[in-house]
Amino acid sequence: MKKGSEDRKIAIISTSEVIGIGLVHAIDELAGAKICVVAPEAMDLGILWEREQFDVVLISIEMVERFGQKIKELEPLPRVLVFAPNGHAPRDLECAESCACGYVSLDTPMERLKPFVEFVARCPLRNARYAQCALCPAQTTLGAPELPITSREREVFELISCHQGSQDIAEHLGISVKTVESHRASIKKKLECETNSELIETAAMWRRGIS
């Protein structure tokens, strides 16, 4: 049967069957949405795509590492939502810029989850490569939350999260080591980190999406 104009096929791909079933219950009442499959880890994405031609895929962050490149090659590209227990999207999330529409934390309240999935499912563009996608509200979920630090301190913090030392940061940003140390001290105070080790751990967790 030909799909109606409002119908949207949604695929859920997760390493956890329990989480997959939970997402089904969370979104199965969306108007015009049809859950076409809850794919286990062993599912071949190519076969699944040929069989279902889904419009939206909710995929766990672990499966992005496995299928990220394959998703980019699908034509037409489905709308992609990445989900994980992390509070926000990791900074080095694969396919974030090239194919993902947004990020969903599994801690998201139901009253926010359903409208968000429905919003993405109803998008007419069907391709995260469009220039208009950069203006989509869903894209903001792929970024890390704002921190109470300046833009320059944010640059330093990003590099700290990559385990770069003060000398490397200074060379990367074209500033003195003394200036980097000053920024580090300011960041520690603002983020309430008592030691450099705590600052490095905080930055690393923030990079992984753990607030």
- pLDDT at site 86: 83
Residues 130 and 198 placed together within one structural domain of the fold: no
Contact 125, 80 (CB under 8 A): no
Say how far apart CA 16 and CA 123 lie, in whole Å: 27
Phi-psi region of 174 (alpha: psi -120 to 50; beta: other; left: phi over 0): left
Residues 73 and 136 placed together within one structural domain of the fold: yes
Lateral strand order in the sheet of 33-39? 33-39, 8-13, 56-60, 79-84, 100-105
Between 72 and 7, residue with greater pLDDT: 72
Least confident of 50-54, 75-79, 106-110, 127-131: 127-131
Residues 129 and 197 placed together within one structural domain of the fold: no
Picking from 142, 168, 189, the residue at the C-terminal end of a domain is 142
Taking residues 159-167, report their average pLDDT. 93
Is the torsion defined by CA of 127, 128, 130, 136 positive or negative? positive
Residues 127 and 172 placed together within one structural domain of the fold: no
Residues 171 and 124 placed together within one structural domain of the fold: no
Considering its fold, how many domains does the chain have in total? 2
User: Quick one: pLDDT band at residue 203, thresholds 50, 70, 90?
Assistant: very high
69 Cα distance to chain centroid? 15
Least confident of 32-36, 189-193, 206-210: 32-36
- Tell whether omega for the bond before 40 is within 30 degrees of 0, i.e. cis: no
Q: How far apart are the first and last CA of the chain?
A: 46
Taking residues 121-129, report their average pLDDT. 67
Closest to 181 (Cα-Cα) out of 153, 209, 203: 153
Picking from 142, 172, 194, the residue at the C-terminal end of a domain is 142
CATH number at residue 131: 3.40.50.2300
Q: Which two tokens stand for residue 78?
A: 């489905």
Say how far apart CA 100 and CA 144 lie, in whole Å: 15
Q: Which two tokens stand for residue 102?
A: 């947004």
- pLDDT at site 30: 65
Residue 76 per-residue DSSP state = S
Residues 76 and 175 placed together within one structural domain of the fold: no
User: Quick one: pLDDT band at residue 2, thresholds 50, 70, 90?
Assistant: very low
Q: What is the pTM of this model?
A: 0.75
Picking from 125, 142, 159, the residue at the C-terminal end of a domain is 142
Closest to 60 (Cα-Cα) out of 28, 100, 30, 91: 100
Which residue range(s) make up the domain with 130? 8-142
- pLDDT at site 13: 82
Taking residues 92-115, report their average pLDDT. 78
DSSP string, 170-187: HHHHT--HHHHHHHHHHH
Residue 37 lies in a domain: yes
Residues 68 and 25 placed together within one structural domain of the fold: yes
Residue 118 lies in a domain: yes
Residue 3 lies in a domain: no
23-39 burial, b at 16+ Cβ within 10 Å, e below that, comes to: beebbeebeebebbbbb
**pLDDT > 80? residue 194:** yes
